[in-house]
Chains A and B, each alone.
Chain A
Amino acid sequence: MIHYEPVIGLEVHAQLRTASKIFCSCCASFGAEPNHHTCPVCLGMPGVLPVLNRKVVEFALKLALATNCHVAPRSVFARKNYFYPDLPKGYQISQYEAPLASGGYLEVPLGDGATKRIGITRIHMEEDAGKLIHDEQRPLSYVDFNRTGVPLLEIVSEPDMRSPEQAVAYLKELREILVYLEICDGNMEEGSFRCDANVSVRPVGREEFGTRTELKNMNSFRNVHKAISYEIERQVHLLEEGGTIVQETRLWDEQRQITYSMRGKEEAHDYRYFPDPDLVPLNIDRDWIQSVRAGLPELPAAKRNRFLSQYGLRAYDVGLLTSSRSLADYFEACVERFQDPTEVCHWISGELLGLLNRDHRAIEECPVRPEQLARLLALLEEGRISRRIAQGLFEEMYLSGEDPDKILGRKGWATMSDQESLSQIVEAVMREHPNEVEAFRAGKTKLLGFFMGELMRRTQGQADPKLAQKLLKERLGGG
């Protein structure tokens, strides 16, 4: 029985969040009326010429540096020639022989605390194509050119992954970096973060790779995992039955949960790449690289390590808090004002994310500001409010966006912390429950909880718990 090992390499296309397209000044945003974000240049009209958007290079440099790539001092745009109605020029401007960046790597966390280094073969810039919309009733197709010329980065990995899990971990890490860098919104469903996978299998211990297939049409991490798993199984099965793998492109069919061969024309393409004579070679000097490097934010891996050591949180919580830069910033803004990281993390991961997820809101849209959450936690710690009140208070803050103190005042939830009135309530509770008082004094000290409960009931939870406990103990114990 031969054991097989999968070999996986990934090609990611990340749409960049620049304001304008890569070679013209049309708006690059998603979701406009069809063909509203177009001009003669992105429509490839006769005689028009592309002019490179400098912002695209800057974004590409950010990713290149964040993934430890070597940036080519001189890179070249090339034309990839093929006919398709969503490609108005009959060629796509991309990079081929001289890409912007190459030879990088990512340290990908594998969940068990270990990491694996995945090589990045190359990163290059290119333009996106348009979109075909097919009429369901008639044999008619429409083209929407809004997406034509939207900037893309193609990120090609080395075939370094050995399981579907590693592939997904790499994708998640790459996506997180892109989002951290604020250069891509990483939305797989909308297609701003797309992935193709090259999959092959080989007997364990063998050096050379098996014949690979290229998988396309996987629009979620789950589908990437499923498609690769399916393909590995298919290939192993085929080999075990004495068959041979055909090098081809296969599509993931989510409905049927299988990959199937695309076959035919797509495979026969000779793209006839050659340097685009309309664009001059792109020269990148050290100063440009330096200034981009200086502007890089703390990256996910570095942030995770720092959160682990600086705040002493569990790996799981660190993963959660650093899953977005804004969430991590939110956490740190809270901790700056309320120095109990575990408690802050507890509230963020529980109450805060609970409400945000319920309402499908991002952390950026959170109505509770970090200083407001910190203030709530301080009130709680000082015993000015009970945990129960704190929860209600947080919900109020989330609904109204108001400061906790203001809400407490408005709701009459101000904590009862004046000794005189609390003492009177203590007396009253004791008067109503003489038997329990007697039992307590006879040594049944567990009843302290009972008295606290009664006291809180009478004060509607507003009694300062520390003070109340102190008064109860004094009166019960001393009587």
Chain B
Amino acid sequence: MQLWELTMCQARELLDRREITSAELTQAFLDRIGLVEKRVRAFLTVAGQQALEQASEADRRLGAGERTPVLGIPLALKDVLCTRGLPTTCGSRILENFVPPYDATVVEWLRADGAVFLGKTNMDEFAMGSSTEHSAFGPTRNPWDLERIPGGSSGGSAAAVAAQECLAALGSDTGGSIRQPAACCGIVGMKPTYGRVSRYGLVAFASSLDQIGPMTKDVRDCALLLGAIAGHDPRDSTSVPLARPDYTKALNGELEGLRVGYLEEEEGVEPDVSRALGEALGVLESLGARLVPVKLPHMPYALPSYYLVAPAEASSNLARYDGVKYGFRCGEEGGLLEMYCCSRSKGFGQEVKRRIMLGTYALSAGYYDAYYRKACQVRTLLVGDFRQAFKLCDVIVSPTAPSTAFRLGERLQDPIQMYLSDYFTIPVNMAGLPALSVPCGLDGKGLPIGLQIIGAHFQEERILQVAYGFEQATGHHLRRPRL
């Protein structure tokens, strides 16, 4: 077995037992990156030298008897997370040369705990997209089929984990950007409850929806990594002051008597995905879970509302990229307005500009009530729908995405088709709930399918419990793409 084939938990044990060193482990991943990265293109930056230095420092700490969940563990970070001294581009031309002088809180915590950062992963520009094709630096490819998209926007992180170029990665999820690529790449990805993980240093797309989360090879790794990044951060006013639990304790495989909700009507879902969902429900039932049909009456309004709220917030969040202080600048010879227009026209890609315009429109005088305010009201109704549903069940399962990974370029000219990739994931962000995608089989083309498990607010442990039981019973998570 190669070192890069290990899970994070396996590597953890070997490191703790001093059977391997972090330096060896890190070198193994750098070699692996050297081998497959030309085909996958998961990374925007590989920080090999820095990673090796971090690894040897981790080995020193391990030698001194120190133990943390991530000490010496080589990770990849989505390029939306600020890393001190390491470029943070958000997949955008406008931030091409931006090197933050500060760490995101999660990066700071992981750094303090001795994690090794292999590099920064590719993404749709400013996390806007479901295919990673909207990266200004070219698309990432799905390790299962290099002609297909890895999902997005955290496609680089998903592909890096699936291609075993890192032990685990962090992504960010605003409307499905962790779960959908996790599903496409056959890995586990979790969006925690809004407020569970600090957003400080996560370059904002839509502040009321964004959340950082783990992307891993299996559920146990997910629990371990979530535990390392969850917790209250006084620098984020929306971070919730709750103690961080040991999520691995929830992994007992017990599903007896657990009520699993499912949605009865699912339109636009590929037959293979429907079939996989049906099988998954059967597995859960066989493990002792009780299946409960639930209704989310306002779910059809979630996607259109999301495409008002998220662009509205984005239009404001992205106003700071004006060419004044950092990032891409042009047109300065023509005066201030010319500099603004040129820098933003050339610095941003098409999808980002589309959303800035959508959002600007939704917030405009005379349209605010009809669009932005109405969309916020829909959010409240969605929260109510889920609250009702969670009276009847402990978790809700659905497909993560209506389809498996599509071909590169297939949906680029059809934004609505692209947006529909997030049909099942978006309501979760709108309601601020936690949800996880776990592999639940392959379709006829041999592409991974993801099962989404949604929990009530701050019920991450319940989700992990169900996901772990399912994973152990099926073994879908053990499948790896051939590269």
By a beta-carbon cutoff of 8 Å, the part of chain A in contact with chain B is 40, 43-52, 79, 81, 83, 85, 88-91, 143, 270, 272-274, 277-280
CA of A323 to CA of B95, assembled, Å: 54
Tell me if B104 and A90 are in contact (CB < 8 A): no
Tell me if B316 and A46 are in contact (CB < 8 A): no
Tell me if B360 and A49 are in contact (CB < 8 A): no
Tell me if B320 and A49 are in contact (CB < 8 A): no
Does residue B458 face the partner (Cβ distance < 8 Å to A)? Answer: no
Instruction: For the A-B complex with A272-B316, A278-B204 known, give 13 more contacts whose Cβ atoms are closer than 8 Å.
Output: A45-B320, A45-B326, A46-B98, A47-B203, A49-B236, A83-B340, A85-B336, A88-B324, A270-B364, A272-B363, A274-B368, A277-B208, A278-B207
CA of A44 to CA of B325, assembled, Å: 10
Instruction: Find B203's partner among A46, A79, A89 (CB 8 Å cutoff).
Output: A46
Instruction: Give 11 A-B contacts (CB < 8 Å), ordered by A residue.
Output: A46-B204, A47-B81, A48-B200, A49-B200, A51-B237, A81-B319, A83-B340, A90-B322, A272-B315, A272-B360, A272-B368
Tell me if A143 and B95 are in contact (CB < 8 A): no
Does residue B475 face the partner (Cβ distance < 8 Å to A)? Answer: no
CA of A272 to CA of B237, assembled, Å: 23
> Which B residues touch A277, using CB under 8 A?
206-208, 238, 313
Tell me if B364 and A272 are in contact (CB < 8 A): yes
Tell me if B237 and A49 are in contact (CB < 8 A): yes
Tell me if A46 and B90 are in contact (CB < 8 A): yes
Tell me if B322 and A278 are in contact (CB < 8 A): no
> Which B residues touch A40, using CB under 8 A?
100-102
CA of A45 to CA of B104, assembled, Å: 12
Question: Taking CB as reference atom, which chain A residue is nearest B360?
Answer: A272
Instruction: Find A143's partner among B101, B324, B326, B372 (CB 8 Å cutoff).
Output: B324
CA of A407 to CA of B324, assembled, Å: 63
The dominant DSSP class at the A interface is: loop
Tell me if A52 and B201 are in contact (CB < 8 A): no
Instruction: Find B200's partner among A47, A81, A270 (CB 8 Å cutoff).
Output: A47
Tell me if B324 and A85 are in contact (CB < 8 A): yes
B90, B95, B363, B368 pick with most chain A CB within 10 angstroms: B363
* A239: min CB distance to chain B, Å: 29
Tell me if A51 and B100 are in contact (CB < 8 A): no
Tell me if B237 and A279 are in contact (CB < 8 A): yes
Does residue B225 face the partner (Cβ distance < 8 Å to A)? Answer: no
The dominant DSSP class at the B interface is: loop
* A62: min CB distance to chain B, Å: 23
Quick one: given A51-B235, A85-B336, A272-B363, are A43 and B372 in contact (CB under 8 Å)?
no
Quick one: given A81-B316, A90-B316, A90-B322, are A49 and B364 in contact (CB under 8 Å)?
no
Tell me if B104 and A47 are in contact (CB < 8 A): yes
* B328: min CB distance to chain A, Å: 13
B200, B202, B234, B336 pick with most chain A CB within 10 angstroms: B200
CA of A438 to CA of B267, assembled, Å: 129
Q: Mark B313-340, 1 if CB is under 8 A from A, else 0.
A: 1011011101011100000000010001
* A384: min CB distance to chain B, Å: 63
The range of chain B's interface size is 35 or more
> Which A residues touch B238, using CB under 8 A?
277-278, 280
Of all A-B residue pairs in the complex, the 10 with the closest CB atoms, nearest first, are: A90-B319, A277-B208, A272-B363, A277-B207, A46-B203, A47-B203, A47-B201, A47-B82, A270-B365, A85-B324
Does residue B199 face the partner (Cβ distance < 8 Å to A)? Answer: yes
Number of A-B contacts (CB under 8 A): 98
Tell me if A89 and B319 are in contact (CB < 8 A): yes
Tell me if B316 and A274 are in contact (CB < 8 A): yes
* B43: min CB distance to chain A, Å: 20
CA of A49 to CA of B233, assembled, Å: 11
Tell me if B320 and A88 are in contact (CB < 8 A): yes
Does residue B224 face the partner (Cβ distance < 8 Å to A)? Answer: no
Does residue B88 face the partner (Cβ distance < 8 Å to A)? Answer: yes
* A140: min CB distance to chain B, Å: 10
B81, B101, B234, B322 pick with most chain A CB within 10 angstroms: B322
CA of A201 to CA of B372, assembled, Å: 38
> Which B residues touch A274, using CB under 8 A?
312-313, 316, 363, 368, 372
CA of A51 to CA of B237, assembled, Å: 6
CA of A273 to CA of B315, assembled, Å: 12
> Which A residues touch B88, using CB under 8 A?
46-47
CA of A91 to CA of B318, assembled, Å: 10
Tell me if B199 and A49 are in contact (CB < 8 A): yes
> Which B residues touch A272, using CB under 8 A?
315-316, 360, 363-365, 368
Give the contacts of B356-415 with A (CB-CB under 8 A).
360, 363-365, 368, 372
Tell me if B102 and A83 are in contact (CB < 8 A): no
Tell me if B319 and A83 are in contact (CB < 8 A): yes
Tell me if B237 and A280 are in contact (CB < 8 A): yes
* B449: min CB distance to chain A, Å: 33
Instruction: Find A49's partner among B98, B235, B372 (CB 8 Å cutoff).
Output: B235
Tell me if B100 and A45 are in contact (CB < 8 A): yes
* B173: min CB distance to chain A, Å: 16
CA of A44 to CA of B200, assembled, Å: 12
A48, A90, A278 pick with most chain B CB within 10 angstroms: A48
> Which B residues touch A280, using CB under 8 A?
237-238
Give the contacts of B84-117 with A (CB-CB under 8 A).
88, 90, 95, 98, 100-102, 104
* B476: min CB distance to chain A, Å: 35
> Which B residues touch A270, using CB under 8 A?
364-365
* B106: min CB distance to chain A, Å: 11
CA of A428 to CA of B102, assembled, Å: 90
Quick one: given A52-B237, A89-B319, A272-B316, are A43 and B363 in contact (CB under 8 Å)?
no
Give the contacts of B179-210 with A (CB-CB under 8 A).
199-204, 206-208
Question: Taking CB as reference atom, which chain B residue is nearest A141?
Answer: B336
* B367: min CB distance to chain A, Å: 10
B204, B313, B316, B365 pick with most chain A CB within 10 angstroms: B316
Question: Taking CB as reference atom, which chain B residue is nearest A280?
Answer: B237
Question: Taking CB as reference atom, which chain B residue is nearest A86?
Answer: B324
CA of A143 to CA of B318, assembled, Å: 20
CA of A85 to CA of B320, assembled, Å: 10
> Which A residues touch B235, using CB under 8 A?
49, 51
Tell me if B100 and A91 are in contact (CB < 8 A): no
> Which B residues touch A79, using CB under 8 A?
316
* A125: min CB distance to chain B, Å: 14
* B254: min CB distance to chain A, Å: 36
* B211: min CB distance to chain A, Å: 12
* B395: min CB distance to chain A, Å: 27
> Which B residues touch A81, using CB under 8 A?
315-316, 319, 363
> Which A residues touch B325, using CB under 8 A?
43, 88, 143
CA of A280 to CA of B432, assembled, Å: 14
CA of A44 to CA of B324, assembled, Å: 12
CA of A45 to CA of B318, assembled, Å: 11
CA of A85 to CA of B200, assembled, Å: 24
* B83: min CB distance to chain A, Å: 10
* A41: min CB distance to chain B, Å: 8
Tell me if A278 and B237 are in contact (CB < 8 A): yes
Tell me if A45 and B102 are in contact (CB < 8 A): yes
